[in-house]
Structure 1
Amino acid sequence: MFQPMRMGGLATGMDTENMIKQMMRPYQMRVDKVKQDRELIQWRQELYRDMLTDMNKFKRSYFDVLNGESYMLSKEDFSTYNVEGLTGNSVKVVGNSGAKAGNYKLDVTQIAEGAKVEGAGVINNVTVGKPSFGIKIDENNNEFKVKLADGTLIDFKIPVNEVTGFNRYNSASELASEINKLTAKMPLGDGNVSDKVKAVVKDGNIEFMTLTKVEADNKIKFNHNGEDFEFSISAGNYTAEELLAQINSKVKSVKGSNGGEFPKNTSIVVDIESDSAKFSIKDDLGNKVGIDIFNKGEKLDIKTPSLNVDGQVNTDNTAIKLYSSNTIAFENKIIEGFNDTLNVRIGTEIKTVKLTAGVFSDDAAIEKNFNDALLLAGITEDDLKVEMKEGKVNFTSKSGKQISIYGNASKVFGTSDNFNISMDSNNKMSNILTGEVEFRINDVKFSYDFSGADKDKTISNILKDIKDKTGLDMTYSESSKKFTLSSNETGASSSIYVQDTKGKFFDTILGDGTDAFSGGKTFAGKDAIFTLTDATGQSSEYAKAMNNFTIDGVNYTLNSKTEGSVNFTLSGNTDKTFNKIKDFVEKYNELIEKVSNKVEEKRQYKYKPLTSEQRKDMKENEIKLWEDRAKEGILKGDQNLRDMLNELRGAFFYYDKDMKGAVDGVDLNLSDIGITTSSDTAQRGKLIINEEKLKEALKNKSDEVADLFTKKSDTYKTYNASASSTERNTRFREEGIFQRINDIFMDYTRTTRDIKGKKGILIEKAGIKGDFSERTNLLSDEIKEKDDKIYEMERKLIERENRYYMQFAMLEKAMQKANSQSAWFAQQFGGAK
């Protein structure tokens, strides 16, 4: 804050500044105390964020699937065998506990597939916007007159392009905007024409409306149910409708003279009386109360938009009709060289479409013109067909090729230039099917009315409904432009039965239009078929319902048929897995030690954050050393960190009397594989590895060791931040140790929100850089509270200091007066001598 330069003590001889400084000292100490508290909060936040950074680094290293070499949540990463000689991607092999080292050979003739039915034909049906014929302004129709309410005639002339000889406007709104730009440049009286009249669009036509000027010092008054209401609106030039909108936006929040509110079921209406617009309140009973609008104390008379538009046009070469009223109307007109050409790209071939010029008054005429022009250009109905649906343009194509359109007639077809005709799942299903349909999938019946209640349902809505009720996947591919229905389970035992019982739902989206589904059809899956020669040389044929399976300790994942035999060799190797576990434990211990040290660190109470006065007399290295000591122990006993440490320890050594081991379904405990905690209680759960015992366990029980660390919960397969305590406990019991640790870190460091809007516990507390929580967290809120308090205290501090200086100044003034009187008396007595 600004500190003025002051001088004092000239008359009294007192050291005014030092005295005031001493008087202010107790108050300054209070401010310094709040500043020190603020500094401690900020240091806590920095320490939290430092630990969050370490935790996130640990998570990325071991729990991010993209870090393949160090990823610890997959059982496959605990394999104690090397696989050599395997080439290509058709088969993936992992050797587990029980596998035998040696040479293997695999021939895959068929992979497992689920039941599946894919559409027989392409379906590409897209509804776009309404046709926009555009407006051509040339020398035949660019001049007209507007007669204002006072009889003034305004000549309009819209400049046209010198090269083409015309201007194109895609809509009446564009032309109205252009006209209003012109009126803003046309002087009239003390202002411009735009102060008096405005072109607006109504029902697709342009109307000229009188404007009312509202000054900044306006008042709008009315009385409703015996209570007076009053408010103002923004100054400006308004049409009657715009003024009505302004009033309605304000009136909802206005308070009455007695504190009442404008009734919610009441609105402002406008009554047209002769050539004026009379604003009234109309309640739900139809009662009306007039509204008075005062401008600079004078009551306003709002004019209705009655203006005359006069002029002659050549209707043979224009899309405009000029009426002797306040309206310019436009025809749906195809004009040669203006909006009659469309280029259609089908695949790589481009064909030019020429529309027939003329006026088209209804959808049927527009549709016929479009399709006739397409056929004339050599584009068949299978390639592209146009239908008008509720005034909008609908494209249908049975071609699998990409289709796009461009040209000056693009907007006539309701699209933008370079528009791709490509259906997606957000399109309405009623574009493809109409009427009532009923069908069956396995034991579930469906019925829809695509001309009635289900008319506006999207493809996505229908597909989701099918999936929710049957558990099957039904999709639409924008690439293949086909529908597919498939089961999630693979194998010959999986099957799908479909039947159209009314209408042609399946026949339309999956069939070829021959009623093939009316009698019902069954589609079955396939088993994986392969021949395996194991390490003993034994060759056997197998059929498996899934593409992932384990035979004699070797896990196989089949991705495709093999071209001939696939040969590979398994050789024992526990070192890789041992080193991964050892590395994990070392980094985990480092992280736990860092957090534990902060929780147990002794607080240095005599080292407080330095004040600005204290810093002045210290060197930089002295300040750093002091602050390092002051930061010690400020997280001592922190409950959040204590809870996290306890949860992490529990993740390793969970015990339940109903379970044989630390993980439900796994008989092993950590001590069985040589991992224990340090006997030193100060190390708070630091892990110790017996290397020989761990290697022995990996060699003889690699499968169980992998499950102990990586097993996934069968009941709750994915992490859920909003899970109940019962759900959390069940998931915790069933999942492996590393899965638990990942869940715990998610609870404390998660940047996504749960259903209550909360992020991870430490994120909510301190926030983290690069996330919205950086500024919205508990510690930042505390810092802001301190900042507000410091600001208020310093403001009062300056007020108090100024008051002291003022009091001393008054003392100086009194002393000067006394000295002056004393000198005068001395002079008088001296003169008497």
Structure 2
Amino acid sequence: MTISRINSMRLTGLATGLDTDSIIKNTLSIERMRIDVVSQKKQVAEWKRDQYREVTNLLRGIKSEYMDVLKPSTNMLSQSNYKKYTASTVDSATGQTSTLVSVSGTVNAMSGSHSVKVLQRASAAQAQSTENVTQELISTRDMNLSSAKLKGKSITLTLDGVTKEITFDADYSTTDDLITGGGDPAKKGLQKLINEAFGADKIEVLQVGTDDKIKFSTVSGATKLSIYSGSSETKDATSILRITPGTSNRINIYDSLENIVPKMKTAWKFDENDKLKFTINNKTFEFDRTTSLSNMMSTINGDETANVTMRYDETTDHFVIASKETGAAGAIIINEEDPGYNFVSAISVNNVIPNSGDVDGVTYGKDAKALIDEQEITRSTNSLSVNDLTYTLLRDPKDTEVDTIQNVTVDLDVDGIYENIQKFVEKYNEMITTINNRLSEKYDRNYVPLTDEQKEAMSEKEIENWEEQAKTGLLRNDAILEKIVMDMRRALFDPIEGVNINLTSIGITTGVYTEKGKLNIDETKLKNAIQNDSDAVMNLFSQKSSSEPAYYRTLSQEQREIRYDEEGLFQRLYDIIEDNISTFSDSGGRKGVLLEKAGIQADRSYTNNMIYNEILGYEKRMDLMWDNYYSKEDSLYKKYANLETAMNQLNNQTNSLLAQLGMGS
């Protein structure tokens, strides 16, 4: 609203008594109606755009679910979905489903029976530490027993996640007294106190040689032991025992490499640049001293060149390095540029070099071996592909004490193939029904988009109901949607070169005329066709054009026609979908028809399409109309303001004249 309008409105009716706002509003009502008409056209265009995009998303959904190479189980363009096989494997001795081997078939497999005897599963090469790598849990120096009082003081032990506080019941002046109580029945000794807390035969307390040092060891399956201070500073006994609080018989993989060094039996060293450097299978690794052991192992495990996994086994206190690949050729070779840095010695592992004889801590990889139809087959992995069947060895006979023939029966998976086709038909019918509903909706001219004034007089529910009715019929008899439906119906029933069957002959037909192209399936007839002529069914749906095997937006019309005649039904549907929703441009620079018309999010067409330009045109037109409207409105307000001024002057003159004539009030 301009300043002149505001000032004029403040003068409304003071002298003339006129309702200036109402007069001007009525005077400009025709202008406002013209603006509302353009605004309604803009709203209709936006609704049409949204409905076109709904159809685009329907087609994208079909493509994503049934025409995506990343979803092989439902990709109807793939021949493998029409030659799926089920394989049952039974142990000949027990008659039960085999636990030793499973079998699957490729598209070229054949139904039939086979025999399998698992001789050996493939395994990976592995090297593990030949001894514990962490220092034993021992006093750092001779204990201070003779001059200290232990009674009432305590230490805290954590064994495999269980924490107990051990409080000394006496002052022990010698190591023998401390460990066993020195034979005095009145003194329990630390060993008895620990046994009472954790149970016998879990933690063993020993004197180290003839020194006044104490050693804590785990036994009988117990593994990780850590020692901490007592519950308070005055009660803490770790300083008397010469034990550093937090000491453990296992390393913490989340510690830095630098902090782990003093805990190792054999310490590795960092080079002059504070780096730990070594090579695994010709891949050189370099780590800062501040890197955690966990991050170091994660980096190694993620490297494709080294092709190994490294882990620290807390139970055994060993490092384990295993090849990621199975087979007898697997090798694990660790080198250091300067052996003086001792990383290999610190983790106590030997290199794995195939056929090198017995080596401590080394397990050589093995190839998989099986007798398949009485022929011995050897592979480096546990998946053995033979004559288009894949035999997966699940367990090793030596681990199961099963050494029998496994009988394999391979059959075409008729139900699985049928189910895929049925689900696609259901989705196709949903899409066709939705598009046909848009094409047949009646348009009611009495329901046009509401103006702002009309909405102000209605409830939200009334507005919702009105707009729902106003949106119907906007795509009635739409040429683009009609072409999509007709192209798909034609594509499904036009003959295919080299294929002697069609949908009707395998039990898939269109229903009555009112169903407008929906497909119906005769289950028995389709399953019989799959069972008896699976190759023909496969070609009917998924055959590729030999002349133009791939869809390109730049194909000429002649190339498109050749491709159409030679390709299977799902290939044709794929082409039709791409013609309408492709984000790639053809030789004329045009994207898919629906995108050229209405665009789609996350693509340049979102603001570069016919309806967008139409909406933009309406917005520009409305801007000009509003400018004209406000210009006329300002002009009228100025005129009425001048009238008001004139009337005030006239009234003042009249009152002055009457006063001079003595006729004033």
The two structures have a TM-score, normalised by structure 2, of 0.55
Counterpart of 1:302 in structure 2 is none
Cα deviation, 1:61-100, whole Å, max 9, x if unaligned, reads 2122343443322222223642223999997414779x54
1:595 aligns with 2:595: no
Structure 1 residues 478 and 540 mapped into 2: Cα distance closer, same or farther (>3 Å)? closer
The AA in structure 2 aligned to 1:58 is I
Alignment of 1:708-747 (within 5 A): 708-747=540-579
- Give 2:43's aligned residue: 39
2-structure distance, mates of 1:22, 1:74: 68
Instruction: For residue 24 of structure 1, report the CA deviation from its aligned partner.
Output: 0.5
Equivalent residue number for residue 809 of structure 1: 641
CA shift digits 1:149-203 (9 cap, x unpaired): xxxxxxxxxxxxxxxxxxxxxxxxxxxxxxxxxxxxxxxxxxxxxxxxxxxxxxx
> Does the alignment pair 1:666 with 2:499?
yes
Given candidates 9, 18, 23, the residue that maps to 2:27 is: 23
Does structure 1 conserve the Cα–Cα contact (< 8 Å) formed by 2:438 and 2:476? yes
- The residue aligned with 2:336 is none
Answer whether contact 1:83 1:95 (CA < 8 A) is retained: no
Matches within 5 A, 1:583-622: 583-622=423-462
1:624/1:405 Cα in 2 relative to 1: closer, same or farther (>3 Å)?
Answer: closer
Range with greater deviation from structure 2 (796-805 or 740-749): 740-749
- Residue 728 of structure 1 and its aligned partner are, at CA, apart by 1.8
Matched with 1:324 is: none
Q: Is the 8 A contact 1:758 1:764 kept in 2?
A: yes
Matched with 1:248 is: none
Is 1:79–1:95's contact at 8 Å kept on the other side of the alignment? yes
How many Å separate the matches in 1 of 2:563 and 2:590? 21
Task: Quote the sequence identity (%).
Answer: 34
Counterpart of 1:582 in structure 2 is 422
Shift of 1:566: 8.0
Compare the two structures and name the one with the higher helix fraction.
2
Measured in 2, the distance between the counterparts of 1:567 and 1:800 equals 94
3-state SS in 2 of match to 1:65: coil
* Residue 103, structure 1, aligned to residue 107, structure 2: no
2:384·2:392 contact (CA, 8 Å) conserved in 1? no
Contact map agreement 1:80 1:96 (CA 8 A) in 2 = no
CA contact (8 A) 1:749 1:760 kept: yes
Measure the CA separation in 2 of the matches of 1:559 and 1:639: 54
Q: Which runs of 5+ in 2 are unaligned?
A: 90-97, 120-267, 290-303, 308-369, 378-382, 398-404
Q: What does residue 678 of structure 1 align with? A: 511
1:262-661 equivalence runs, <5 A: 400-402=282-284, 533=373, 555-556=388-389, 568-571=408-411, 573-654=413-494
Tell me how far apart the structure 1 counterparts of residues 556 and 32 of structure 2 sit (CA, whole Å): 51
CA distance in 2, matches of 1:733, 1:713: 8
1:590 CA drift (Å)? 0.9
Matches of 1:811 and 1:788 in 2, distance apart? 35
Deviation at 1:791, TM superposition (A): 2.3
Tell me, in whole angstroms, the C-alpha distance in 2 between the residues paired with 1:710 and 1:108: 37
Deviates more, 1:733-742 or 1:77-86: 77-86
- TM-superposed CA distance for 1:591, in Å, is 0.6
One-letter code aligned to 1:697: A
The letter for the 2-side match of 1:70 is: T
Please name the residue that 2:124 is paired with: none
Equivalent AA in structure 2 for residue 693 of structure 1 = K
How is 1:817-832 mapped onto 2 (pairs within 5 angstroms)? 817-830=649-662
Secondary structure of the corresponding residue to residue 465 of structure 2: helix
1:10 partner letter: L
1:59 corresponds to which of 63, 66, 73 = 63
For residues 232-252 of structure 1, the C-alpha deviation after alignment (integer angstroms, 9 at most, x for no partner) is xxxxxxxxxxxxxxxxxxxxx
Distance 1:550 1:559, change over 3 A: closer
Query: Taking structure 1 as reference, are residues 770 and 567 closer, same or farther at Cα in structure 2, changes over 3 Å only?
Result: farther
Whole-angstrom distance in 1 between the partners of 2:10 and 2:101 = 85
- Give the one of 750, 755, 760 matched to 2:582: 750
Indicate if the aligned counterparts of 1:96 and 1:703 stay in contact, CA closer than 8 A: no
Question: Does 2:527 align with 1:695?
Answer: yes
Rounded to whole Å, the distance in 2 between the matches of 1:58 and 1:752 is 18
Secondary structure of the structure 2 residue equivalent to 1:82: strand
C-alpha displacement of 1:717: 2.5
Change (3 A) 1:618 1:70: same
**Could you say what secondary structure the match of 2:87 adopts?**
strand
CA positional deviation for 1:640? 1.9
Q: Note if 1:93 corresponds to 2:91.
A: no
Between the aligned partners of 1:531 and 1:704, the Cα distance in structure 2 is 34
Structure 2 CA distance for aligned equivalents of residues 709 and 58 of structure 1: 15
Aligned to 1:186: none
- Distance in 1 of aligned mates of 2:86 and 2:474: 50
Match of 1:369 in 2: none
- Shift in Å, 1:743: 2.1
The aligned amino acid for 2:30 is P
Counterpart residue number, 2:614: 782
- Counterpart residue type for residue 652 of structure 1: L
Q: Distance in 2 between matches of 1:630 and 1:401?
A: 68
Q: Secondary structure in 2 aligned to 1:570? A: strand
Does structure 1 retain, via aligned residues, the 8 Å contact 2:87–2:104? no
On the 8 A contact 2:88/2:103 being kept in 1, the answer is no
CA contact (8 A) 2:11 2:644 kept: no
In 1: Cα distance, 2:286 partner to 2:384 partner: 43
Residues 829 and 351 (structure 1), Cα distance of their counterparts in 2 relative to 1, 3 Å cut: closer
Partner of 2:256: none
Change (3 A) 1:36 1:6: farther
Look up the SS of the partner of 2:408 in the other structure.
strand
Over aligned residue pairs, what C-alpha RMSD do you find?
Answer: 4.5
Whole-Å Cα distance in 2 between the matches of residues 24 and 632 of structure 1? Answer: 32
* 1:497-556 deviation digits (Å, cap 9, x = unpaired): xxxxxxxxxxxxxxxxxxxxxxxxxxxxxxxxx9975xxxxx8999xxxx99997xxx54
- Cα 1:401/1:583, change in 2 over 3 Å: closer
Return the match for 1:48 from 48, 52, 57.
Answer: 52
Provide the C-alpha distance between the structure 1 equivalents of 2:417 and 2:456, rounded to a whole number of angstroms.
57
- For residue 491 of structure 1, what is the aligned residue in structure 2? none
The C-alpha deviation readout for 1:603-635, integer Å capped at 9, x for no partner, is: 212211000011111111111111111111111
Q: Which letter does structure 1 place at the counterpart of 2:655?
A: A
TM-score of the superposed pair, with normalisation by structure 1: 0.44
- Which whole-Å deviations, capped at 9, do the CAs of 1:339-393 have from their partners, x for residues lacking one? xxxxxxxxxx999589xxxxxxxxxxxxxxxxxxxxxxxx9xxx9xxxxxxxxxx
Q: Is the 8 A contact 1:80 1:702 kept in 2?
A: no
2:127 corresponds to which residue? none
CA distance in 2: counterparts of 1:41 and 1:784, whole angstroms: 10
Contact 1:709 1:738 (8 Å CA) reproduced: yes
- The aligned residue for residue 512 of structure 1 is none
Distance in 2 (CA, whole Å) between partners of 1:96 and 1:87 is 26
- For residues 567 and 391 of structure 2, the distance between their equivalents in structure 1, rounded to whole angstroms, comes to 27
Deviations 1:539-577 (A, max 9, x none): 8999xxxx99997xxx547999x9999852124552222
Residue 78 in structure 1 maps to residue 88 in structure 2: no
Paired positions, count: 424
Distance change in 2, residues 1:479/1:772 (3 Å): farther
In structure 2, relative to structure 1, the CA distance for the partners of 1:6 and 1:608 (3 Å cut) is farther
Deviation at 1:724, TM superposition (A): 1.5
